[in-house]
Structure 1
């Protein structure tokens, strides 16, 4: 059973939170694929992974081209898994509809966008019968707290 984590973003945007979660993913030796809801979100996310911290670099590629399998992190705008990732992130409007063959799925949604919150609630209801779900919310100090 795929573990699915819902991350309710209120304090910081996905571009600030995702690099930290991707660092932890790579520390575990996992590969990750990050799906966004629209291709226009790929370039800003790519830029964030290059610039989020001066002393760090997250090796990644965009899309599912011939070199995609070489990258430990793939940024995509569709349901492909070009690098054989064990962990899938959904961000910037992408919404999970199943757990797939992943060890873990992380769904990040903008808590300041009422439509995103509605989509998250709908996803929770749809995924709950077949998956182990947890809900995480960020406190003002930046700490993530498991709420459900």
Structure 2
């Protein structure tokens, strides 16, 4: 199984402001999404942003520790485990987890302060033919893929 890892640099923007752009694209493609962060407050901010980002086109979501987690199209969790059957995981706190390699696609969000840690994650896949890496940067409110 091939793994696709996207590195998403959002300088000067909190993840709860930029992650909904990606979540919306995943939903339009019919994909379920797992959003992971150890910090419960961060998960709360991301969850609120998914509801409020575009009120006419809100992104339904729920927490893994609440009833009906398996039915949520976007699941917010402190654990990197997709109880909703998601094959795409967004690591909202910029922390790589070994369990992420069980997904088809992983999105690692980070800011300038997390750049060095993201580089380490990038390097960990240098010798892996089964991993495709992509680097995206937020520019004028849109994600731009860099070479």
TM-score where L is the length of structure 2: 0.87
Distance 1:85 1:48 in 2: 20
Residue 15 of structure 1 deviates from its aligned partner by: 1.1
Per-residue CA deviations over 1:23-78 (Å, capped at 9, x if unaligned) read 11011111000001322312111211121123221111112444111101100111
Secondary structure at the aligned position of 2:90 is classed as strand
Where structure 1 has 5 or more consecutive residues not aligned to the other structure, the ranges are none
Distance 2:35 2:133 in 1: 19
Q: CA RMSD in A?
A: 1.8
Q: Hey, which bits of structure 1, 4+ residues long, moved more than 4 A?
A: none
Distance 1:47 1:99 in 2: 24
1:136 aligned partner: 136
Where structure 2 has 5 or more consecutive residues not aligned to the other structure, the ranges are none
Distance 1:34 1:24 in 2: 14
Question: For residues 112-127 of structure 1, what are the structure 2 equivalents within 5 Å?
Answer: 113=113, 116-127=114-125
Distance 1:37 1:95 in 2: 11
TM-score where L is the length of structure 1: 0.86
Q: Report which stretch shifted further, 20-29 or 58-67.
A: 58-67
